[in-house]
Chains A and B, each alone.
Chain A
Amino acid sequence: SQTIHQWPATLVQPVGSPLSLECTVEGTSNPNLYWYRQAAGRGLQLLFYSVGIGQISSEVPQNLSASRPQDRQFILSSKKLLLSDSGFYLCAWSVGEGYTFGSGTRLTVV
């Protein structure tokens, strides 16, 4: 079956520290992968998407970067976190014309 894993579930990090969030999918090959962020009380904002290994497209300028070192692995990173990076980070992959989301990482930058 097709599943998506995302970790960690929650994270509290100090300002200026690095970040690495990982997302992996199982049961499919060459999926389109996406990173979204949801700020408190706000809608989902598309951050990055990837259509294949090493292919990353950024949707908005920001303090974050993404990488896809393997077909089923998508990583979101930052070298130095800002307070404004706090939010609920969601990885998704497209299934036909809809998405399946991972369970998300709730990041609080303090």
Chain B
Amino acid sequence: RKEVEQDPGPFNVPEGATVAFNCTYSNSASQSFFWYRQDCRKEPKLLMSVYSSGNEDGRFTAQLNRASQYISLLIRDSKLSDSATYLCVVPASGGYNKLIFGAGTRLAVHP
């Protein structure tokens, strides 16, 4: 299994839809996880941290399933501005806060 795997998409959804992305990881010792958002030709920006079982922030919900080693991101009531690539991020082995980034899932929200 790759260290981090994501469905590349694209996910094409209408405004107002609910969409979910999954991410699997291989290091069972990982404790904290992140979702980053990357707009086209821009730097990634932290969207959410995921600790213990999950986290919710407005329309965004991140869940963690340690037994199955996957993380999900749910976006409710999609907006046009949600169109971006969403990167799943897990800690790398060896410490020093090194992170491994998934290749990303592309979301396109249309009117």
Tell me the A residues contacting B by CB distance below 8 Å: 32, 34, 36, 42-44, 46, 49, 51, 57, 59, 88, 90, 94, 97-104, 106
Pick out which of these stretches binds chain A: B55-63, B65-73, B98-106.
B98-106
Does chain A have a CB within 8 A of B42?
Answer: yes
Q: B32 contacts the other chain (Cβ, under 8 Å)? A: yes
Contacts of A99 in B (CB 8 A): 44, 46, 97, 99
Contact, CB under 8 Å: A43 / B96: no
Say whether chain B's binding surface is mostly helix, strand, loop, or mixed: loop
How far, in whole Å, are A42 and B102 apart by their CA atoms in the complex?
9
Cβ of B4 to closest chain A Cβ, rounded Å: 8
From B32, B42, B49, B98, give the contact of A34 (CB < 8 A): B98
B interface residues, tally (CB under 8 Å): 21
A59 to B32 CA separation, bound complex (whole angstroms) = 21
What's the minimum C-beta distance from A35 to chain B, rounded to whole angstroms? 12
- Asked if A101 contacts B44 (CB within 8 A), the reply is yes
A94 touches B43 (CB 8 A): no
In whole angstroms, how far apart are the Cα atoms of A51 and B32 in the complex?
A: 20
- Residues of chain B touching chain A, judged by Cβ–Cβ distance below 8 Å, are 32, 34, 41-46, 49, 87, 91-92, 96-104
A57-B97 Cα distance, complex, nearest whole Å? 13
A75 to B10, CA, bound (A): 35
Interchain CA distance A14-B83 in the complex, whole Å:
35
Contact, CB under 8 Å: B103 / A43: yes
In the assembled complex, the CB of B89 is this many whole angstroms from the nearest CB of chain A, namely 8
Once the chains are docked, how many angstroms separate the CA of A67 from the CA of B110?
45
Closest 3 CB pairs of A and B: A43-B103, A101-B43, A94-B97
> B92, A46: Cβ atoms under 8 Å?
yes
Given A98-B34, A106-B41, A43 and B102 contact (CB-CB distance below 8 Å): yes
Given the known interface contacts A43-B103, A46-B92, A97-B32, the answer about A32 and B43 at a Cβ–Cβ threshold of 8 Å is no
Alpha-carbon distance A42/B106, docked complex (angstroms): 12
